[in-house]
Amino acid sequence: MKTFRTAASLRTYLDTVPGLIAFVPTMGALHDGHVALIRAAGTTHDLIVASIFVNPTQFNQATDLVAYPRTPREDALLLAANGCDVLYLPSEEDVYPEHYRDPTTGLDFGPLVEVMEGAERPGHFDGVAQVVYRLLDVVRPVTLFLGQKDYQQVGIVRSLVRQMKLDVAIKVIPTVREQDGLALSSRNRRLSEVERNAAASINLHLKAIASCVRANWEPRALEKRALHELTRHPLLAPEYVSIFDGDTLQPWREGQAAREIVVATAVHCGPVRLIDNFIVRTT
């Protein structure tokens, strides 16, 4: 695996290599969820490029940015072992050079960013759009691989691609989970053992909600009930539970046609804030 620390050197190298490029952007502290993205990319592309960059502009809490786990050495080994060809490991200055003019400024994500993570983390998705645009501009892949765990992020990136008329396909890979259902997340390593067990129940709640939606339980009353039940756990503090249309990300109402219905939640557990989602049904 080749490692590049600057956009210029990476770009120079990529220009010499023929074939289809897959791109897997990450913030490092890699786990099997990232591995699933790398492996999926490998089955259909000639060259796999991964990036590790803890993007400060998408953090809305300075403490979260500082506490975000960083394990570059282990990450590089894991990437290489799973077939990654190129690692882009830039500094903040390389991603956002002085006088960088961000073309995503002024993009309008409309209602997509008014709900869930957008409502709870002001500015978060502007930062996501900014960094994804910048990385795509450097790597120029044919396909961008994203994880389903950040379901809303996928919607924002789709909108970014559409608004900026970028020529890249988006491939979403299902969430990888621990045996007990806990969605893999770099933040999980900050949980104590009891917190870890509490966090595992988040997936059980999402599955329960999905079962109820399939039995035609009223979505708004169900969200309220689920929020109440999550709150009853002494170690969990949920921010929201949303049953939504996967395309619009807006609350799904009974009888409303939808390609995909999804339930998502954000839950504080100990020192971290965890998100997870579960697809209720796809038509």
Task: Kindly list the catalytic residues.
Answer: 34
Q: Which stretch binds a second copy (CB under 8 A): 1-9, 72-80, 156-164, 204-212?
A: 204-212
Cβ atoms < 10 Å from Cβ of 260: 15
CA–CA dist 61, 213 (Å, integer): 34
- Is residue 257 part of the contact set for a second copy (CB under 8 A)? no
- Cβ-based nearer residue to a second copy, 76 or 263: 263
- Is residue 280 part of the contact set for a second copy (CB under 8 A)? no
Out of 36, 212, 263, 269, the residue judged to bind a second copy by CB under 8 A:
212
Q: Of all helices (H) and strands (E), which one includes residue 114?
A: none
CA–CA dist 239, 125 (Å, integer): 18
> 26 in helix, strand or coil?
strand
- Is residue 236 part of the contact set for a second copy (CB under 8 A)? no
CA–CA dist 240, 76 (Å, integer): 35
- Is residue 233 part of the contact set for a second copy (CB under 8 A)? yes
- Cβ-based nearer residue to a second copy, 43 or 216: 216
Out of 5, 70, 214, 220, the residue judged to bind a second copy by CB under 8 A:
214
- Is residue 204 part of the contact set for a second copy (CB under 8 A)? yes
- Cβ-based nearer residue to a second copy, 30 or 263: 263
- Is residue 218 part of the contact set for a second copy (CB under 8 A)? yes
- Is residue 201 part of the contact set for a second copy (CB under 8 A)? yes
CA–CA dist 272, 11 (Å, integer): 36
84: left (phi over 0), alpha (psi -120 to 50) or beta: beta
Query: Which residues are part of a known binding site?
Result: 27-34, 58, 147-150, 153, 176, 184-187
- Is residue 178 part of the contact set for a second copy (CB under 8 A)? no
Out of 17, 77, 194, 221, the residue judged to bind a second copy by CB under 8 A:
221
CA–CA dist 21, 41 (Å, integer): 9
Cα dihedral sign, 204-209-213-217: positive
Greatest pairwise CA separation for the chain in angstroms: 57
Query: Which residues are part of a known binding site for (R)-pantoate?
Result: 58, 153
- Cβ-based nearer residue to a second copy, 211 or 282: 211
